[in-house]
Amino acid sequence: MAKELVIGIDVGGQTTKCGIVDARGTVLAQTVIRSDSHTTVEPYIADLAEALKRIIAEAGAEDNIRGIGVGAPNGNYYTGIIENAPNLTWGGTKSIPFAKLLSKAMGGIPVSLTNDANAAAMGEMTYGAARGMKNFIMITLGTGVGSGIVINGEVVYGHDGFAGELGHTCAVRHNGRLCGCGKTGCLEAYCSAIGIARTAREWLDLSEEPSSLRSLDKITSKDIYDAAKEGDKLALKVFDFTGEMLGASLADFIAFSAPEAIVLFGGLARAKEFLTEPVTRSMNANVLPLWRNKVELVFSSLKESDAAILGASALGWEL
């Protein structure tokens, strides 16, 4: 009898989301584990395998898993290796044979790996806001800034499997912030959840503007969002700055693939009421006139967990 279920896994910098998915795209069971609780990959793989076996039993899916698809930072679709992933506590500058390690821990179930943003793009194209689109760019705004580029209905991987690292294009050419990748001025250093929190901290240090954020020892992107909802002027300015930075970079991205839409996804994208206007304004101000007001800015229509799980799970059907 054909095996009728697959597993989708979204590996993020802080958490890993896992789900069992059927052929209709229904997530039958899911769970979350910490990604950042280990400094080496082996104990993380052990925790992940234990969590997967638990939801397999919960779904009554023993002996019915066809394959496992994984979306992870710097995941190489061609090799199954996670290479030099600075946002993973056990990644760093190492090359980790992730697909091989997880398959072994799961008793030989085949595993396919791709970049986390590529997985999210696949999920959005199949089930979400990009359904029916053949040319779009997915931007994930989470711990880092990721991207998945779809041209003519196909995810772009490039010759080595790593095409689409738009978060590490240069947004600030001179005296830019140091990014986790080792470069300076990367878009990720400004428009990720970590980047926006860094902007807020820097501005608080440089000004005496009243803000509810001053009372916090550690500022997160959620704190800034909550403050903006309360009308905090500094928080609103931070979102405006972040949106302008992102929009200018999106204008550059439009120039190389002429997408019909840019899809924003991830935790920071939930602040769309504060990002839509500055991103759109900056994007159209910086793009070539032939694309001005032509490329749609849309936000993911799927639950943050489901989009990445469903996208990653699509890899499982190919195994």
pLDDT of 23: 86
Q: Which residues pair with 82 in a beta bridge?
A: 75, 96
pLDDT band for position 16 (cuts 50, 70, 90): very high
Residue 94: give the domain boundaries.
Answer: 5-121+305-316
Is there a single domain that holds both residue 251 and residue 139? yes
β-partners of residue 34 are 15
Confidence (pLDDT) at 29? 95
Written as one letter, the residue type at 131 is: R
* Rounded CA separation 160/56 (Å): 33
pLDDT tens by residue, 215-274: 999 999 999 999 999 999 999 999 999 999 999 999 999 999 999 999 999 889 999 999
Torsion sign, CA atoms 195, 200, 201, 203: positive
Residues 148 and 237 grouped into a single domain = yes
- The answer to whether position 127 is within a domain reads no
- Domains in the chain, number: 2
Judgement on whether residues 108 and 174 belong to the same structural domain of the protein: no
Residue 105 located in a structural domain: yes
pLDDT score, position 306: 76
46-71: pLDDT as tens digits: 999 999 999 999 999 999 999 999 99
* Count of other CB atoms within 10 angstroms of residue 228: 20
- DSSP bridge partners of 27: 21
pLDDT tops 80 at residue 132: yes
Q: Domain check: are 187 and 281 in the same one?
A: yes
Query: What number is the average pLDDT over the span 277-293?
Result: 97
How does the average pLDDT of the chain come out, rounded? Answer: 93
Distance (Å, rounded) from C-alpha 186 to C-alpha 258? 22
Nearest to 190 by CA among 306, 282, 111: 282
Burial class (CB in 10 A: 0-12, 13-18, 19+), 35: buried
Higher per-residue confidence, 123 vs 151: 151
Q: Is the pLDDT of residue 20 over 90?
A: yes
Name the amino acid, one letter, at 286. Answer: N
Between strands 27-34 and 5-11, the pairing is unpaired
Tell me the C-alpha distance between 283 and 55, whole Å.
Answer: 43
pLDDT at residue 297, as a whole number: 97
Structure confidence at residue 117 as a pLDDT band (50, 70, 90): confident
Phi-psi region of 282 (alpha: psi -120 to 50; beta: other; left: phi over 0): alpha
Q: Both 232 and 142 in a single domain?
A: yes
Q: What pLDDT, on a 0 to 100 scale, did the predictor assign at position 303?
A: 74
| Average confidence (pLDDT) over 270-295 | 96
Q: Is the pLDDT of residue 123 over 90?
A: no
Categorize the per-residue pLDDT at 317 as very low, low, confident or very high, splitting at 50, 70 and 90. confident
- Residue 101 CA to residue 255 CA, distance in Å, equals 39
| 177 vs 90: CA distance, rounded Å | 23
Contact 270, 264 (CB under 8 A): no
**Quick one: tokens of 190?**
């400004």
What pLDDT, on a 0 to 100 scale, did the predictor assign at position 126? 81
Proportion of the chain above pLDDT 90, given as a percent? 78
Kindly state the average pLDDT of the residues 111-117.
91
Token look-up 């791709």 returns: 114
Tell me if 31 is assigned to some domain.
Answer: yes
- pLDDT tens digits for range 188-223: 999 999 999 999 999 999 999 999 999 999 999 999
What pLDDT was estimated at residue 60? 93
Task: Give the 3-state secondary structure of 253-306.
Answer: HHHHHCCCEEEEECHHHHHHHHHHHHHHHHHHHHCCHHHCCCCEEEECCCCHHH
- Across 94-105, average pLDDT: 96
pLDDT for 1 beyond 60? no
Residue 10 included in any domain: yes
Which of 206, 202, 207, 212 minimizes the C-alpha distance to 232?
212
Kindly report the number of other CB atoms within 10 A of residue 156's CB atom. Answer: 16
Kindly state whether residues 107 and 219 are assigned to the same domain. Answer: no
CATH classification at residue 248: 3.30.420.40
Please report, as a single letter, which amino acid is at residue 229: K
In this predicted structure, what is the pLDDT of residue 12?
86
Of the two residues 122 and 32, the one the predictor is more confident about is: 32
**Position 126 in a domain:** no
CA distances to 10, 256, 298 from 70, in Å = 6, 28, 25
In angstroms, rounded to a whole number, what is the distance separating the alpha carbons of residues 7 and 270? 26
Which pLDDT score is estimated for 2? Answer: 63
pLDDT of residue 276: 97
pLDDT in tens, 147-185: 999 999 999 999 998 898 999 999 999 999 999 889 999
Residue 128 inside a domain? The answer is no
